[in-house]
Structure 1
Amino acid sequence: MLKLTYTDMGLHLERLAQSPEELVARRAILALRMSQNLHLEPSRAAFLLPADLPELPILEAAIRREGKAIALCSVCDDYVEVSLRGMWIAPEVDAHEGIFVAVMSDRLEFLLHKLWQVSQTQVSFLL
């Protein structure tokens, strides 16, 4: 499972071994114990990857073979948008911060996580 955490500081992507059901159950228990709201809804999430990543054609081929919950779209010469189907988990309906989880094949999860990590390394060198 891929877990995308959206905060006011940006996006963090992780690859987790647990199921979405386990994550939601733990979040529900935490919200209950903290007397907080918990909102869940099927949704889509997106993030950008540099268009010049050498492994991008491998990701595109994997998506064509097995990617029902993922789409790639070129947004400009420099970036491609990765769009995922999954579940949005947040404290409120209109929250801009929260967690998005998506399940796909191990190969796609691995490739996306790897490409995201590489893109973050490239960005940190530019700062």
Structure 2
Amino acid sequence: MLKIIYTETGLHVEIVDQPIAAFVRDRLAIENSVGAQLAVESGWASLLVGHLPGVAALAAQPGIAVSRADDQSIEVSFSGIWLAGAAEAEEGVFVAELPGDLEERLAALWRTLCSCRIVP
């Protein structure tokens, strides 16, 4: 599962070895145990990745939309689940299950663009 954490300081990409259903169930249990509310919605997220050879092939993957952002980056969009304190919140977690090694590939391409470290 690809997990994107949106914070006020930016975003972080993680690859998590857990099905979405289990992740959402666990998050709901935690939020309920502390009396907090959690909005859970289907949606789409976009991730800017480095413009490297082979990136265009991502568009052939089911459920993936690819568009050029600029000369150095590509925007890759995909569907998943948004979890946040409110549906309109700017901070939260987006999770998606993508086919095959696509999650690893997206995370690696994102890392090349932002020079960020992926949390294992």
TM-score after normalising by structure 1: 0.83
The residue aligned with 2:106 is 112
Question: Does structure 1 residue 91 correspond to structure 2 residue 89?
Answer: no
SS of aligned partner of 1:37: coil
Question: Does structure 1 residue 22 correspond to structure 2 residue 22?
Answer: yes
Amino acid across the alignment from 1:83: S
TM-score after normalising by structure 2: 0.87
Per-residue CA deviations over 1:56-113 (Å, capped at 9, x if unaligned) read 41x432541xx22221100222321111111111111211100001111121111111
Amino acid across the alignment from 1:37: Q
Pick from 48, 55, 60 the counterpart of residue 56 of structure 2. Answer: 60
Partners of 1:106 and 1:15 lie apart in 2 by 13
Aligned Cα root-mean-square deviation (Å)? 1.8
Report the CA distance between 1:42 and its aligned residue. Answer: 0.7
Per-residue CA deviations over 1:9-43 (Å, capped at 9, x if unaligned) read 10101111100011101100110011101111110
The answer to whether the Cα contact below 8 Å between 2:50 and 2:72 also exists between their aligned partners in 1 is yes
> Could you list the runs of 5+ residues in structure 2 that have no partner in the other structure?
none
Query: What is the identity percentage for the equivalent residue pairs of Structure 1 and Structure 2?
Result: 32
Partners of 1:22 and 1:45 lie apart in 2 by 20
Give the count of matched residue pairs. 117
> Could you list the runs of 5+ residues in structure 1 that have no partner in the other structure?
none
Q: Which has the larger radius of gyration?
A: 1
Partners of 1:6 and 1:41 lie apart in 2 by 15
